[in-house]
Amino acid sequence: MATNEETAENPRDAKDLLADFAASTVESYRQMETPVSRYLTLVVAPASVFFVITLVVYVVTDFPLLIAAPIPLLGLLAVGVALVYPKILQDQKRKEIEDRLHLFITHMTILSTANIDRVEVFRTLGEEEEYGALSEEMRRITQLVDTWNQSLDDALRIRADKSPSKPFADFLDRLAYTINAGQEIQDFLLSEQDVVIQNYVTIYEGSLENLEVMKDLYLSMVLSITFALVFATVLPILTGTNPTRTVSAVVVLFAFIQTGFIVLIRSTAPYDPVWYHPEVQITDAEWRIRISVALGLFLTVVAMAICLLVLAGRTGVDPDSIPLPLYAAIPTTPLLIPGWAVRREEERIKERDEEFTSFIRALGATESAKQSTTTKVLESLRGKDFGALTDTVDDLYKRLNMRIEASAAWRHFTADSRSYLIQKFSEMYLLGRQMGGDPKKLGELISGNMNEVLQLRERRAQSTVTLIGVLYGITAASTFAFFIGLEIVEVLSSLSVGLNTDQFDFTTIIHTQVYDIETIEYLLLVIVLLNAVLSSLMIRIADGGHKVNSYMHFVLLTWMSCLVAVFTQIVVGSFLNV
């Protein structure tokens, strides 16, 4: 009976989901900046015309079904993308708001503790371009107040109705009610911290769960492509089709699928960068990274040139003495140099993040207790052990003691730390102190919020380790399957030659003549390199680290795949030839 009820409810659930999607799409049209009529004329109408053209091409031409069927599907895809594009933009804006909301609210709270007008708080936040859509919302709120003479609470309610993010809309509604009731904005924001952090934790954990789903989907898709590639390699021996074309088609399909997963993971992963990249100042760490990247790329080019000369027989070394897969792996090895350098620096950044919470809390509490300047307090704190942050704190004290402007000294401090979180929270602390905020309250607020983010990063690191294990495992398994298929074909090719007689030609059953084994092996190495590149990019997106950090995974994935290929060729080939 329960099953029947569930079956009856499922269509309604599907209809509800479809209705919600349609309603949100219509709402996105209402909220976009471009007039609806203009968007329909310039985007939707041309996409519809393109769809009609693809239908005409499908009807008029006499292409095989396998080639003709995707043509109208391409036109239908263009119409679908044109129709839902406003919703895609709205979803991107929602994610941008929710990814930065916790830092934004902390920044607003710190500004509210200063002795400035409450509208000035919104105006100041509107100038922070790094908050993206949130800064834009702040500018629109101040525009409603300054230009249209709206009260602040009315302006907040107007923008709450327009916001694509429910947590941010709820926050604006609560803030509007608080201001209308006469409560101090500072008291509200301080009490709101727990709610904001919990919302951020929920969104962050939801993104990590979505990454787990993506990982399972990716595993299924790669297994399917692996089977397709093995079939594309082996089946032509029975059908007589050109195996080079079938394998090439699967290679292109594999590249498209992995690229699509990279885009999905990029849109799913939480926005939480580890690195801070100052626009003007180049630190010693940055110089070390640049030098290591230049050295790694130079040695890679040299190794590639040597491998090409060996393959061409220009060095006196027998090219056949080295297995072909190793020619793909050896040139990538020097990229371990920049990969290792960035990985080591990234570990130091994470250590500084861990120590910064203790440092900023101690700085705020001591400043408040001694009623002294930051320079005097740092003179006593510089003797304490803050781990990887100790030298950076000491340099901050030296700059302030030399009467360097406070903002410039802190800017050097954040540049030397290279940490995104340290840069944001240091900027907030400095701004709060300059505007007369209580240092103890600022230190505790920043320390508490940063601790929550660091705990979430630990969960993200665990999720990334799982993803790395899956990518390495599926890479080894798929490479093994690729080259087993190649070895089977090579063995069958050699067998068919010995089976031919005057009475019967076995090539009429086993079509070994269609194979170019060397070309197919090159294509398999192409898919190995593609997999290494795209998998390393997935890892980098998942962990939020430096781009160069992906070099190390690229090299390790390439070497693992090539060694598996060599093992398969030697062991499986010898086994089949017995």
Query: Three-state SS for 257?
Result: helix
Is residue 457 scored above 90 in pLDDT?
yes
Number of neighbouring beta carbons within 10 Å of residue 66: 7
Is residue 501 scored above 60 in pLDDT?
no
C-alpha–C-alpha distance, residues 479 and 568, integer Å:
9
Is residue 557 scored above 90 in pLDDT?
yes
Is residue 2 scored above 50 in pLDDT?
no
Residue 403, Ramachandran bin (φ over 0: left; ψ between -120 and 50: alpha; else beta): left
Q: HEC string of 303-323?
A: HHHHHHHHHCCCCCCCHHHCC
**Which of 188-197, 244-253, 289-298 reaches the highest mean pLDDT?**
289-298
What are 144's two structure tokens? Answer: 């409603």
Please tell me the predicted confidence (pLDDT) of residue 502: 54
Is residue 512 scored above 90 in pLDDT?
no
Please tell me the predicted confidence (pLDDT) of residue 34: 82
C-alpha–C-alpha distance, residues 475 and 487, integer Å:
18
C-alpha–C-alpha distance, residues 107 and 102, integer Å:
9
**Which range, of 23-27, 67-71, 103-107, 231-235, averages the lowest pLDDT?**
67-71
pLDDT in tens, 361-382: 999 999 988 888 888 999 988 8
**Which of 24-38, 230-244, 349-363 reaches the highest mean pLDDT?**
349-363
Mean pLDDT of the 287-314 span? 93
Confidence bin at 191 (pLDDT 50/70/90)? confident
C-alpha–C-alpha distance, residues 134 and 101, integer Å:
8
Please tell me the predicted confidence (pLDDT) of residue 505: 53
Please tell me the predicted confidence (pLDDT) of residue 243: 86
DSSP annotation of 276: -
Please tell me the predicted confidence (pLDDT) of residue 507: 55
Is residue 251 scored above 50 in pLDDT?
yes
Q: 355 and 562 in contact (C-beta within 8 Å)?
A: no
Higher pLDDT, 179 or 241: 179
C-alpha–C-alpha distance, residues 192 and 153, integer Å:
17
C-alpha pair distances (Å), 432 with each of 111, 185, 370: 6, 15, 18
C-alpha–C-alpha distance, residues 75 and 25, integer Å:
20
**Which of 64-73, 112-121, 508-517 reaches the highest mean pLDDT?**
112-121
What single letter denotes the amino acid at residue 309? L
> What DSSP string runs through 191-252?
HHHHHHHHHHHHHHHHHHHHHHHHHHHHHHHHHHHHHHHHHHHHTHHHH---HHHHHHHHHH
CA dihedral 520, 525, 528, 529 (to 10 degrees): -140
C-alpha pair distances (Å), 215 with each of 91, 225, 268: 22, 15, 11
Please tell me the predicted confidence (pLDDT) of residue 550: 93
Mean pLDDT of the 130-138 span? 92
Is residue 358 scored above 50 in pLDDT?
yes
Mean pLDDT of the 444-452 span? 92
pLDDT in tens, 381-410: 888 899 999 999 999 999 999 988 999 999
Mean pLDDT of the 436-444 span? 88
Q: Residues 6 or more apart from 220 whose CB is under 8 A from it?
A: none
Please tell me the predicted confidence (pLDDT) of residue 57: 87
C-alpha–C-alpha distance, residues 178 and 531, integer Å:
54
The H helix count followed by the E strand count for the chain is: 23, 0
Mean pLDDT of the 200-222 span? 90
Number of neighbouring beta carbons within 10 Å of residue 446: 26
Number of neighbouring beta carbons within 10 Å of residue 249: 13
Mean pLDDT of the 40-64 span? 88
> What DSSP string runs through 479-497?
HHHHHHHHHHHHHHHHHHH
Confidence bin at 307 (pLDDT 50/70/90)? very high
Confidence bin at 9 (pLDDT 50/70/90)? very low
Q: 163 and 140 in contact (C-beta within 8 Å)?
A: no
Higher pLDDT, 336 or 321: 336
For the chain, the straight-line distance linking the first and the last C-alpha, in angstroms and rounded, comes to 61
Percent of the chain surpassing pLDDT 70: 93
Closest CA relative to residue 247, chosen from 526, 473, 573: 526
Confidence bin at 66 (pLDDT 50/70/90)? low
CA dihedral 84, 252, 555, 566 (to 10 degrees): 150
Taken as a whole, the chain contains a residue count of 578
Q: Residues 6 or more apart from 221 whose CB is under 8 A from it?
A: 257, 261
Provide the H-helix boundaries in 235-317: 236-239, 243-268, 284-311
Give this prediction's pTM: 0.85
Is residue 360 scored above 90 in pLDDT?
yes
pLDDT in tens, 106-132: 999 988 887 778 899 999 999 988 899
**Which of 13-22, 34-43, 464-473 reaches the highest mean pLDDT?**
464-473
